[in-house]
Amino acid sequence: MSGAIACEQRQYETYVLSLTEPNSSIEIVPARGGILTRWQFQGKDIFYLDHERFTDPSLSVRGGNPILFPICGNLPDNTYTYNGQSYTLKQHGFARDLPWQVVEQPMGDCPSILLRLKSNQQTREVYPFDFELLFRYTLHEDLLATEQTIINHSDDHPMPFALGFHPYFGVQDKQKLEFEIPSEEFQDQQTKEVHPFKGDFDLERDELDLIFQTLSQNTATIVDRHQGTRLKLEFSHAYANLVFWTLKGKDFYCLEPWTAPRNAMNTGDRLLYLDPGASFETSVNFYIELLE
């Protein structure tokens, strides 16, 4: 097994991390929210990407694995209150829209890249904290590893935040999907109704937007019989929620680890707080294997 890292100038500067054995690669675009846009394993595309939206910088990316910070989901009227002052944050926060900086590209058997996002005047207008995010992506033989470090550089205030990923997994036949999600119930985020989970979804609905908030363990597995893959998500305990989202007629589904549900910045529900000068580390790993 040997690894390589290449930087290609496309519409956006794109970093390609690859392994010759197995034949696998990932592509990361720092300028578009530090997003991981593509993951190939044994010639199979694991992620979905809407290329038309991706090429339009005025639109949010629909596909790949967008980063959610400092909120997951949306806020009522895109507004939250902190210390008696109102701030505006659009859905999923700003980390997925801002350019990230490449900090390291260590080479070894497993290629890796470290990206950084730091607070600036633009972020402080909507989120009044000095922060630093460090995200590392490492490509292993059967594993895409992501490690996250959050640092509060504010002098005197604990920093509230939520963190998440929004991976879009490509699928050709949703009826051939099998789910193992460690929960007995989910809440429909549109109706707010809670339903028992029996291992499947009503994929004939126009949209499914469901949240699992009572997880018995920190893994979830999806078998795609059409593609011939088994995908396992393994995430740190901080990711206390899983969101399932898909649209009828679209060749993707999303299974999203979130540390807090939507509107947590107002309700405080599972919101994380980081003391001044402190750091917080967490991870989300994607294991992949081909079915025999």
**What's the pLDDT score for residue 267?**
97
Start-to-end C-alpha separation, the chain: 22
**What's the pLDDT score for residue 106?**
73
- pLDDT cut 90: percent of the chain above it: 91
Are residues 233 and 286 in contact, defined by beta-carbon separation less than 8 angstroms? yes
Are residues 166 and 187 in contact, defined by beta-carbon separation less than 8 angstroms? no
- Distances 105 to 39, 102, 108, 140 between C-alpha atoms, Å: 18, 8, 10, 15
Mean per-residue pLDDT, 189-208: 93
**Cα–Cα distance measured from residue 154 to residue 119, given in angstroms and rounded to the nearest whole number:** 10
Q: For 9-30, what is each residue's pLDDT tens digit? A: 999 999 999 998 888 999 999 9
**What's the pLDDT score for residue 206?**
96
**What's the pLDDT score for residue 107?**
67
**Cα–Cα distance measured from residue 246 to residue 169, given in angstroms and rounded to the nearest whole number:** 10
Average model confidence (pLDDT) across the chain: 95
**Cα–Cα distance measured from residue 188 to residue 244, given in angstroms and rounded to the nearest whole number:** 10
The 10 Å Cβ neighbour count of residue 275 is: 12
Mean per-residue pLDDT, 228-235: 97
CA–chain centroid gap for 28, Å, is 13
Beta strand 143-152 with 279-290: parallel, antiparallel or unpaired? Answer: antiparallel
Helices (H), the chain: 51-54, 121-126, 264-267
Mean per-residue pLDDT, 33-52: 95
Is the pLDDT score of 69 beyond 80? Answer: yes
208 pLDDT tier (thresholds 50, 70, 90): very high
Q: Which domains occur in the chain, in start order?
A: 3-290 (2.70.98.10)
1 pLDDT tier (thresholds 50, 70, 90): low
Q: For 176-191, what is each residue's pLDDT tens digit? A: 999 999 999 999 999 9
Q: Who's near 130: CB < 8 A, 6+ residues apart?
A: 119, 124, 152, 153, 154, 155
Are residues 254 and 167 in contact, defined by beta-carbon separation less than 8 angstroms? yes
Mean per-residue pLDDT, 214-241: 97
**What's the pLDDT score for residue 22?**
84
Is the pLDDT score of 2 beyond 90? Answer: no
Q: For 87-139, what is each residue's pLDDT tens digit? A: 999 999 999 999 999 998 876 778 999 999 999 999 999 999 999 999 999 99
Mean per-residue pLDDT, 65-85: 97
- What one-letter code names the amino acid at 162? A
